[in-house]
Structure formats: C-alpha cells, structure tokens
Amino acid sequence: MQWLLRKNPILLGYMAINFTLIGVDVTLAHSQNNFFRFEMIPLIYTPFAIVGVLLKLFWPDNRWAHRYFLISMGLGVAIGLIGTFFHLAGNATSDFQPIHRLIIEGSPVAAPIAFAGIALYTLVVAKPESARRNNQLLILVGLGFLASVLAAFLDHARLSFSPIYTLFPLLSGLMATIACFWLAYSQKTKSEVIFFLSIMVLNLFIGLLGFVFHVFGDLAGTQTIVWARFLYRNPLLGPLLFCDVAVLGGLSLLPEQIGQSKNQAIQKDVTVTI
C-alpha cells in the first residue's frame, strides 16, 4: 500500500475530496430554490465524478476505468461552463441589464466554473509524471487562485469593499497567482520554493480568517441561525476556497517519480520484502 503515499494517489484523493465538498456546497445553495429547473444537474454529476476519480485512483491501468474517468472529467468541464452561462442568464431578468446586476447581484457567476477547474486539474494529474506535468499543475493552481480572486471580488463588491480588509484576499490571491506562474517557468531553486510556500501559508491564513469573519457577519444581529444568510449573504465556503487552493499548491510541489508506474512500485515493494 506504499503506492498510496506517492504524488498521484495523494492528488487524486484530494480531488475526490474537492468534488465531495463542492457537491455539498451546491446542494445547500440550490436547495434554497427547491432545485429549480436544471439545478439538479451538478448534484447528479458529483457522485459520478467521485466514482471516476476513485476508479482512476485504485485501478489506474484498467482501460474501462480510464475511459469512465475521462468521460466524467470531460463532463465536469462542460458542466462548469454551462453552469456559468445559466447563472448569467438567470441574473438577466430582461434584455437590458446593467453589468452590476449581471455579475455581482443574484447567482454567483464564478461558482460553477469550479467544476471545470477541478476536472481539468484531475485530468492533468492522470498524465504520466514529468517535470512538464508539474509545471502544468502549478499553472492550473495559479488559475485557481485567479478564479478565487474573481469570486471574492464579485462577492465583496456588493459591500463596496468596506471594511478595507475585504481587499486582503484579493491581494494575497493575486500574489499567489503570480507566484504559481513564476515557479512554473523558473528553475525552482530552494529560495523560490520557500517563498512560494510562504505565500501558500499566507493564503491559508487569509482563508481561515475570512471564514471566521463570514461566520460572525452571518450571525450579527440575529437571535437564531438563519441558514440563508450563510449561503447567500456571507457564504461560508467562499473564504475556504483560498485554503483549498493553497493546500493544492503545496501538494503540487511533491516530487515527481518519473518513469515509475504503480505496478513497478508494487513490484519494488515485494522485492524489498523478500
């Protein structure tokens, strides 16, 4: 079972967790609309995607498992893009809508694209381990931070970025985006890696701090818990997105074991045992 401690199984397991969490988040959000029209689509897709990731994790060399995996991840990209369109269309209640109404008020337009991001990252994880693949993972993490910044920008724009600390995740997220792109195209010296990891830790802290602020903001002025406020006023899982992508950035730096498949690793373990 030592192969489970290698980079690929760790990343695939983390992606399965991501699909689970986003499924819970979407279920809570769409339940407020009684799953109106097409809102059941991401809920049905989520377990389909989790099964695909688990099949790739435990049966990486099985042809049918690989095909199922590719189909499920391809659907994830499509659902993310289509969901973004549906959110924009849902916010447009007439032919002429100001841009503020389309992207800031109403359904969060940056939320569905998370399905596409997770699916794309998982597809790259399935590639053979190499230095090039490692750089691709870092680029996708950078795009994940950029999407997180966009989501935070649209969410905090409703408050006109008041108080001032609502700008902190935008700054830290942009720093992380630049750091990911820089490291992807650099020689990855020890000092560069340490600087990169320090920015990941900063975003981890910013995400946790934002989670606390969101909880207190949703509880302010209420005698009981109003769940709709946790979903729409200050969404609980929003700040934790920075934590999630920061952890993913750190995991993406795990060493690549180039040219060693799961079967080779198992054979090596058996040889050592004998």
Band of residue 256 on the pLDDT scale cut at 50, 70, 90? confident
Please check the confidence at residue 124 and state whether its pLDDT lies above 90. Answer: yes
Q: What percent of the chain has pLDDT over 90?
A: 46
Model pLDDT, residue 51: 96
- Assess whether pLDDT exceeds 70 at residue 252: yes
> Of 154, 145, 255, which is closest to residue 204 (Cα–Cα)?
145
So what's the pLDDT on residue 87?
74
Q: Are 98 and 157 in contact (CB under 8 A)?
A: no
Range with the lowest mean pLDDT among 72-76, 87-91, 170-174?
A: 87-91
What is residue 274's predicted lDDT score, i.e. its pLDDT?
40
Q: Across all residues in the chain, what is the average pLDDT?
A: 82
Q: What pLDDT digit, counting tens, does each position of 129-140 carry?
A: 888 899 999 999
pLDDT digits (tens, 9 = 90+) for 228-237: 665 656 667 7
Q: Which two tokens stand for residue 126?
A: 């399935």
Q: Provide the token pair at 44.
A: 């049905």
pLDDT above 60 (res 99): no
Mean pLDDT over residues 72-84, rounded?
A: 92
Stretch 80-86: mean pLDDT, rounded?
86
Which carries the bigger pLDDT value, residue 164 or residue 160?
Answer: 164
Single pTM value for the model: 0.83
Which structural domain range is residue 186 located in? 2-273
In angstroms, what CA-CA distances link 96 with 7, 27, 105, 204, 261? 50, 31, 15, 40, 56
Could you give the percent of the chain with pLDDT greater than 70?
76
Predicted pLDDT at 227: 60
Cα–Cα distance, 121 to 139 (Å, whole number)? 10
Q: What is the pLDDT of residues 183-214, one digit of tens each?
A: 999 988 999 999 999 999 999 999 999 888 87
Q: Calculate the dihedral angle through the C-alpha atoms of 202, 208, 213, 215, rounding to the nearest 10 degrees.
A: 170
* 25 or 246, greater pLDDT: 246
Q: Is the dihedral of CA 217, 220, 224, 229 positive or negative?
A: negative
Number of domains the chain is built from:
1
Q: Which residues contact 235 (CB under 8 A, 6 or more apart)?
A: 29, 108, 155, 214
